Amino acid sequence: MENSILMDKSIRAKHRDDLEAAIGAMISQPQFPCVGAKSALARDTLKVLAGHSLDSNWDDLEIHRELLAWAKEYRGATDGLRSLAVVFDGPLDLSESEFESLLWTRIQSLADKDAWLGQTYDTRVSADPADPHFSLSFGGEAFFVIGLHPNASRPARRFSRPMLVFNLHDQFERLREQGKYEKMRDTILARDEKLAGNANPMLARYGESSEARQYSGRQVDDDWQCPFQDRRSL
């Protein structure tokens, strides 16, 4: 039994290394638009977790533990942008709406665990997904999520496997305070438009509309309702 567990860990570690290489290759492409991801890759502050399946709760406890550790570590960090990428083995044939549904199922599970453990919600953001100042919160730190999968309509959101990338909200507020955020945002938008051939209609500045509309990468209608509710907002 012990040997089989060690073997599984070894296999998962090798799998994680392969995923890290694949993600690095994607981000390193000259046309990849997100300069924030390029910075995290260059600084070795992009961490990768290998998950089993996006439609399973198998990895939720481990992902949540990593989010708590990521939030704690960030408070003492002085380095640049940091991202936590969770890559799942499948499903690989999801439509955009199916991916969006599973993305929010995983997020709901993680948020429920955060609330159950008595973690406070980051008071700098709103827990209401309809609020323009909405953001997720894990370990008392606000996060937003970028979803990627094989069948995404936006080229920058395509990856060979389903992936959820967790980014800390505060690090972008720091950039805003330093006067660097708008320049970075404009660069990303211009590069994304060049790659896709048109501007991303879902992108908006924080505080203008809920960022929840942007998580999955799917273009949603004005009447779209976020399928998520944090119990700490009740």
What are the pLDDT digits (tens) for 172-230? 888 888 999 899 999 999 999 999 999 888 888 888 899 999 999 999 998 999 999 99
Report d(CA 106, CA 54) in Å as an integer.
7
Mean pLDDT of the chain: 91
CB 159 within 8 A of CB 148: yes
Would you state the pLDDT for residue 202? 86
State both tokens at 110.
């993680």
Report d(CA 145, CA 215) in Å as an integer.
5
Q: What does 150-219 look like in DSSP terms, one character per residue?
A: TT-SSGGG--SS-EEEEEEHHHHHHHHHTT-HHHHHHHHHHHHHHHHSS--TT---BTTB-GGGGSS---
% the chain with pLDDT above 90: 77
Q: What is the mean pLDDT of the segment spanning 128-153?
A: 97
Strand partners, 148: 163
Is the pLDDT confidence value at 91 over 70? yes
Per-residue pLDDT of 10-22, as tens digits, reads: 566 778 899 999 9
Pairing state between β 141-148 and 136-138: antiparallel
Is the pLDDT confidence value at 84 over 90? yes
- Cα–Cα distances (Å) from 195 to 154, 172, 190, in that order, read 9, 23, 9
Would you state the pLDDT for residue 65? 98
Report d(CA 63, CA 92) in Å as an integer.
20
Would you state the pLDDT for residue 15? 86
Would you state the pLDDT for residue 230? 96
Range name among 9-18, 59-68, 114-123, 129-138 with the lowest pLDDT average: 9-18
Pairing state between β 163-168 and 141-148: antiparallel
**Cβ of 110: how many Cβ atoms within 10 Å?**
23
Would you state the pLDDT for residue 148? 98
CB 127 within 8 A of CB 134: yes
- Sign for the CA dihedral angle at 9, 40, 193, 189 comes to positive
Would you state the pLDDT for residue 76? 74
- Neighbour-count burial of 225, counting CB atoms closer than 10 A to its CB (0-12 exposed, 13-18 middle, 19+ buried): exposed
Q: What is the mean pLDDT of the segment spanning 40-51?
A: 93
Q: What is the mean pLDDT of the segment spanning 138-159?
A: 97
Would you state the pLDDT for residue 24? 94
Q: What is the mean pLDDT of the segment spanning 131-158?
A: 97
Would you state the pLDDT for residue 3? 47
Report d(CA 183, CA 221) in Å as an integer.
28
Range name among 24-33, 67-76, 139-148, 153-162 with the lowest pLDDT average: 67-76
Band of residue 77 on the pLDDT scale cut at 50, 70, 90 = confident
